[in-house]
Each structure stands twice: as structure tokens, then as C-alpha cells.
Structure 1
């Protein structure tokens, strides 16, 4: 008898995977079906995502699934990073290639943007942390500077919506991904008419909001023919990868924060309503949409991007270092200096090593030289920021945080997990690693009726995956 199977298309800033999930004896089992690198491309002075290749690789994974005789694919869900997307023309063709959130184009229109609305008012409406790449700035740029979009852009789709469109032909904007871009009214969970009117943006070019756990269509006949799959349902899950990761985190109490560890590290709390207070605004904490109507009250931290970019520089120089190699050097280092993990200069430097060395020279008057010292300065900066953000949450919510629940690929770095425990003084529980894929699958399972609620799904997570505990030393 074939097993009922759920497929998570999980795209991160540096790689993509198709993960297969099946239930056996009450436990969720995961199997990686296909993996590929996600390599953004500079073309001229613009930093693009290579969407054509991303979609090609997704289809290669689907083809592999169709060759399996032991499973029946029930549904597919898609989660990606936030804020980015692309335009379709009036005929439903891709008009623009998605542009990377680290592209600098929005800086050209910021002054004009704030002639229409203030930072404070924008936060009052959306509750979203001010970051230069938010979708609201991207759309304002497109409608004021991009003649092609102004004349021919008909429908805006966020990245997971775009992938779902080319799989099913359906156009929609999933709630959690739309919430990342500072376009929604945080209280009503819908696009803010006030905001769109103030900025002169065309509200009719946005698509209907659908909530996580909604079946949005089935694979088109063309995709079925090309991949060999049948009329498989496609589900709008928590399409922002962090929304899926939080869904997959087995949170137990209100006195916990989650820390999703990947290219970005995101620390936050799961709430029922947004917090739009002056303190929240001053600390620039974001209120993004979650599954089952929750709010992801969180702070973006420029996370393992530091280590990924350092390794890239060192390996291009021929050092051939793995992440365990770098961590081993860090543990030998006595470096006490720390970068400012929030500084704009670390967003997209051409050479992360040179940027960290320059920062420490300018700030402390020292020249870092070794792999261990340079990488430890990055870890030190992250540890300091984790502590600061956790204390912000305690001050604003009035809750005493007891546990930091770490999920995502970054928890394989046991040194990082211990640094979080040491810097915050809190109990750290790490696991599961594949939280975004798991949360993605839980919403698929709810959509097709396998489970009734997120709480039921989280109990499956507790019974299926190991969790490791760390205490402050």
C-alpha cells in the first residue's frame, strides 16, 4: 500500500530543497528528495534571483518524486524568504525577474518615499520593522522609477506565490509572506488602503490574501505531463519560511522565545495580537503574520550570513575550510572584540573578511589577522545582540522569558547554541533542524484533514524529533 506523502519546497537564500514527509507509527519522517544551490546573479548593477533556474530545479525534484512507487503525493507546499517577488503582465507572463532583497535600488527613492508617509505612521499601520528592502519600498521604486512595471505590470506575486502560480495557474498572495513587506494593516490582516493611497500605489495589482492551510489549486496539465505527477493539490502554507519554521517549533508556553537560525537569525514570540506600542516602535520590532491567525513578534538579526560569507571568501582564496574547521579555530581564539551585528555595512559587502577587519580597526584600533579571531568577532557580535533582543521582549511584553527554543539548520553549530545560552542566561532547547519543512507539512496536513490543529501537529513534532538542551556556563 502506498504511503500518503507531503512535499515541502523549501527555499532559502543560499539553497533549495524538496523534502518528502510521511507518517509512520505516529511519527513524521523526512527524506530529502532534491537539493540545489540558490545562486543570485549580478547583471549590470542589479542583484537578481535566478528564478528560471530555481523553477527548473523544483521541476527536477518533482520528476524524482513521480518515479517513486512507494508513495502517493497528497500535496505540495512552498516556503521561501520574505519580501521579494515579481510582476506578471496582463497575459500572465513573467514581466520582471525577481530582484534580491540585498539589491541597493530602493535607497534611491527613500527621500521621496518619506514625503508621503513617516516612519512612525508606517509602523502604526503595519507594525513592521524598518528595513530598506521591505516590499513597500520595492513597490514604490517600481511605480516611480521602473517604466516597464509602470506601463505593463498587472499582478504582483511574492516569491512562493510566483512559484505556486507557475505550478497551478492560480494567483494569490499568502498572508504570512505578504505580511513581511510592510503592506498589510497589522490589525485587520489585509492590505492597507490608507497606505496604498498615501503612496500612490495600485492596490488592484495586489492579489487576494489567502490564509495558511488553504488549498489553492492543483498542478496544471503541463506540469503534470512534464513531471509525471498527477492532479496533486498545492497548499498555501506559512509561505514565509520563518512562519513555517515557527509552526514547526514545538513551543509549549507563552514564556518562550524562538530563534530561527539560518542565513538570517530571527528571534521572536508567538502572540495572538500585534504590539504597536511606542516601545515596540522604538526598538524596531516587527509584527509578521503566522499560521492560525497568530502574530510573529520578532526581530531580524543578520545571522549565519556572516559565517557563510567568510567561508566563501576564504575558500575562494584556497583555504578549503568547512564550517566545523572555522568553529574549531574560533574555539582556540581569545578575541574579545565584537562587530555590530546590526550595521548596514554587513548587509552585502563584497568581501566580508575585509569588512570585519576594517570595522574592528576603526572601532577598536586593532587589526584582526587569523580565521579564528575574525570569525569570533562575528560570533561575539551575534551573542551580544541576542541578549539585547531577548531583554527587549521581556521589557515590552512584561513576560519573564524562561526558554530560548532554537530551530533551523544553524542549530547544527553547537558552539552557537552554547553561546546563546551563555549570553542570555536562559535555558536553550535546540531542535528540530528542519523546522521550516516540518511547519510547511503541518499546514498541508491540516489543509487535507490529516490533523485538526497546529497544537496536534506540534505534538507530532515533539514525538518525532530530537531536542538538545544547553545551559549557561
Structure 2
């Protein structure tokens, strides 16, 4: 029995999970959790790199006598620069840095958004690594000249753990620097923007060993011989790995957390005008499958509104209280456009913004039912609006891929809400398979166990994880929700 440590890094918290397989199936134990935030240093919003890497290395050392391997997955696009001596030149800048807009302006001198989409398959955004690099070169040209390699965040952590300078394609597919069709770095783009090809590390496939902590650049880790495994560096790819969308072509997945990623697994990229106009993006998954997906607002509005309402009421609100209220509502709630930029801003008065949006809708549609809504009804508005967004994306994906998408696999925090799961099934008129909740961490764990030979394949790993990561099927228009069938 070999134990592994999975480091699952999100943009607000990171955690470490100890996992292994025994006679009772897959066992998982959270052994580290750290909240973190971006800070302003040298005029830029940066990640607290020293704090993050210290928490990771301390956890590895704490469990060094138990674990055989460690691996990391993270959010996309952000990176660090290392010099010819292997030193990190500066703490990584975050994707929320406003100066990245300069990079997008520079790219527009060469290509339109649609042209860039056709070249890379990525939805064009200031946060793309390409635009971050262009902005950095304009702002601090000497820093980029000092760089020997660009390492995206999971690759950078892996470098600290074992000294290997490697890239992994799922995370690099978020950069807008890969050609989505041939799944390799676009030499044409690098030439057009004058970026040095030598900055790009060699790629290694997910599910391989990158090295050992014996060669770590952190001195304290060199006392241990722990394998560092190259898993799917992008958390979205890791999460998609544990969904039926990877093995069943008619299945759409929804990763519902603060943001929602809605997509399908395909054997090719879609870079035509229809995909561009639909706001889709192409990223890479396990064994270089393509994820055609849309990144839309998820539970962020609900989280922010809940916090503001708690402040107003001077008490905590349990999710069970929210569910009990919205389930009593007769009919469907009115919907708002959660894609409106006002709902992405932390300083928004969410109650006022939702009321204004519904008032505007009333002018256009003649329905002023919202005037009867109380504070808790706005949770129902958010849930209904989420489900409607998913329905619209499902229709777009059906048209573009010419696939029926007759089922949905819902993962992430949203899968915990029985109300939301049933609402999605009813709105989409599609069965919804809900769970697991912590999908990206599970993807990381299963790839490590497969690499070590502890499981035969991902399917066996999912079967073994059934007891601690159960899934529930929600059928559309089911009168009695207690009839939903729990499956392993």
C-alpha cells in the first residue's frame, strides 16, 4: 500500500490530501489547508509565493515517512520566471492584475480577437498568459530578458519539489500560446510577438514521474526520496477526468464552484466562427483530449449575496434554510443575466443589482412578479439564473458539436445542493449525475495512484472511490426527490 499526497491549489485556498487504497477502497484525509490572497508588491498584484511553497514543503516533510509520491494541480494562466541560475526572478503576478490589459492592447495590433481564437482555440482575455507576457515586457523589459524559462504555477511548484524544469499541456492550454489543432506551442505566434522559443519548457505527459525530492531546490526536502508525479496541472482538466464526459460522448460536464465551467470532451478543437461567437474555449485534458467549454459565473453571486444578507440580518444563514425557502416557491423564479459585469465585482450591492436587473426585465417583458420577492427569494433567482445559463450553453454545445448531450455530470460545490441539482435536471430536461464535490483533488489522486500502479486505470479508481465520493442521479420532472438513486 503506497500513500500519496495531492496538493490541490485554488486561487483563495490550497490544501493537501493524503490518499491510499486499502481493502475498503480509496481512503482520503485532508492534512493541510491554507487560505491565501494576492498582495500588492512593486506596483503589481502578486501571489504570496514564499508562504505557499513553505506550506507545501512543510506538509511534504511532515508526512515524508508515509508517502511515496506528491503532485500538484492549480488554476490556470499564471506563471513564474526563473533565470539561468534557477532562481525565481519575482513572485508570480496574479491574473487579476489590471496591467494585463496592456498586453491585450498590444496583441490587437497584430490580430483581432477572432483571429487569435482561430490560432489558439482560447477565448481571448487579458488574463491569458500571452497577454500577461506582452504586458510584462512592455512594463519591465529587463525582467523578461533575464528569464531562462517560463513555468506555469503547477510546473513551478514541481520545479521547487524536484528540480525538474518541465511543462504539462493541460495547464499550458490555458496560455493562448498553444495551437489548439496540433496541440503544440504555436511557433507562428511566438515569432509574430518576438517571444523566445527557449523560454518554453519541454513538455511531459500527465501520469509520469518528473523526479524525486532528492533533487529539490528546497534543501530540507533533499533528505527524502519521494517521487514527484506530473499530473494534469490544470485543476479543470483534473476535475473533468472524474466525470462521465471523458468516457461518454453524449455527456456534458458542469464544474460548479465560484465559477462554472460547462463543457464536453472531444477528439478535436473547435475554432470556427460559431464557437468563437458562443464564447467557448478549447483546453486540453487527459491524453490530450480537448475540452470545449465555457467559463461562466457560478456560485460567486450566491456567496456574495449570502454574506451581504448575513451582515444585514446580523446572523449566519444556513444553506438548509435557503433550500427550505426556495423549495416552497410555486412555479419558476424570474432570471437575471449573471454574465453582466456588475455581478463579477466584489463591491457590488448584490440585492440592489438583482432588483435593478429584474426591473429592467419587467420593462421589456411586462412581468413585475419580482415586486413580491423577499430577501430569500433572491437565492431562488440566482439558482434559476444559473440553471438557465447552463441550458443556453447546452444548446450552444449541441449545435456546435452535433451531439445530443443527453446527460449532465455535475461536480464541485454546486453538486451538494439537492435543490440546484434537481432544478438543473428540470430546466435542461436532462438527467443530472451529481458528485463528487472535490473533483480536481480526486483527479490528482487517481492519476498518482495509477502512475504508481496502485490502480489499473481511472475507471477502477472511480469505482474504489465510490464510498467516500458518492454520486446521485437526478431525473427531470421527478415529483418525489427522495426517489433519486444513490450510486457508487
- Judge same fold: TM > 0.5, yes or no: yes
Aligned to 1:399: 403
CA shift in 2, pair 1:313/1:427, >3 Å: same
> Within 5 Å, which residues of 2 pair with 1:151-170?
151-170=145-164
Matched, 1:439 2:439: no
Matched, 1:213 2:211: no
CA contact (8 A) 1:326 1:371 kept: no
Output the CA distance in 2 between the equivalents of 1:445 and 1:230. Answer: 20
> Within 5 Å, which residues of 2 pair with 1:297-312?
297-312=292-307
Which runs of 5 or more residues in structure 2 are unaligned? 363-369, 478-488
CA deviation profile, 1:280-309 (whole Å, cap 9, x unmatched): 222121110111121111111221222333
CA deviation profile, 1:331-353 (whole Å, cap 9, x unmatched): 56789343322233333432362
Output the CA distance in 1 between the equivalents of 2:231 and 2:44. Answer: 30
CA contact (8 A) 2:161 2:218 kept: no
CA contact (8 A) 1:88 1:95 kept: yes
DSSP 3-state at the match of 1:100: coil
CA shift in 2, pair 1:171/1:309, >3 Å: farther
CA deviation profile, 1:376-409 (whole Å, cap 9, x unmatched): 3332322211000011111111111111011123
Output the CA distance in 2 between the equivalents of 1:105 and 1:24. Answer: 50
Q: How many residues align?
A: 467
Aligned to 2:338: 341
CA contact (8 A) 2:162 2:216 kept: no
DSSP 3-state at the match of 1:112: helix
> Within 5 Å, which residues of 2 pair with 1:23-62?
23-25=21-23, 27-42=25-40, 46-62=44-60
CA shift in 2, pair 1:96/1:422, >3 Å: farther
Which runs of 5 or more residues in structure 1 are unaligned? none
Matched, 1:234 2:233: no
Output the CA distance in 2 between the equivalents of 1:461 and 1:416. Answer: 24
- With 439-448 and 9-18 compared, the bigger mean Cα shift is at 439-448
Deviation at 1:8, TM superposition (A): 1.0
Output the CA distance in 2 between the equivalents of 1:14 and 1:333. Answer: 34
CA contact (8 A) 1:250 1:461 kept: no
Output the CA distance in 2 between the equivalents of 1:367 and 1:91. Answer: 64
CA contact (8 A) 1:219 1:230 kept: yes
CA contact (8 A) 2:21 2:454 kept: no
Output the CA distance in 2 between the equivalents of 1:313 and 1:88. Answer: 42
Superposition RMSD on alpha carbons, in Å? 2.8
Output the CA distance in 1 between the equivalents of 2:196 and 2:343. Answer: 33
DSSP 3-state at the match of 2:106: helix
Aligned to 2:3: 5
Output the CA distance in 1 between the equivalents of 2:127 and 2:37. Answer: 19
CA contact (8 A) 1:339 1:359 kept: no
Aligned to 2:277: 282
DSSP 3-state at the match of 1:245: helix
Aligned to 1:64: 62
CA contact (8 A) 2:103 2:133 kept: no
Matched, 1:350 2:347: yes
Output the CA distance in 2 between the equivalents of 1:456 and 1:243. Answer: 19
Output the CA distance in 1 between the equivalents of 2:351 and 2:139. Answer: 33
Q: 2:183 aligns with which of 189, 192, 201?
A: 189
Aligned to 2:416: 412
Output the CA distance in 1 between the equivalents of 2:79 and 2:329. Answer: 41
Q: 1:136 aligns with which of 111, 130, 137?
A: 130
Deviation at 1:462, TM superposition (A): 5.3
DSSP 3-state at the match of 2:335: coil
Aligned to 2:387: 383
Deviation at 1:180, TM superposition (A): 1.1
Output the CA distance in 2 between the equivalents of 1:199 and 1:15. Answer: 34
Deviation at 1:314, TM superposition (A): 4.7
Aligned to 1:472: 476
DSSP 3-state at the match of 2:376: helix
CA contact (8 A) 2:163 2:217 kept: no
Deviation at 1:24, TM superposition (A): 1.6
Deviation at 1:75, TM superposition (A): 1.3
DSSP 3-state at the match of 2:225: coil
Aligned to 2:433: 429
- TM (norm. structure 1) is 0.89
Output the CA distance in 1 between the equivalents of 2:172 and 2:465. Answer: 27
Output the CA distance in 2 between the equivalents of 1:367 and 1:92. Answer: 61
CA deviation profile, 1:336-379 (whole Å, cap 9, x unmatched): 34332223333343236267347527734778995424433332
DSSP 3-state at the match of 1:66: coil
Aligned to 2:240: 246
Output the CA distance in 2 between the equivalents of 1:107 and 1:368. Answer: 42
CA contact (8 A) 1:427 1:472 kept: yes
Output the CA distance in 2 between the equivalents of 1:373 and 1:108. Answer: 41
DSSP 3-state at the match of 1:300: strand
DSSP 3-state at the match of 1:420: helix
DSSP 3-state at the match of 1:7: strand
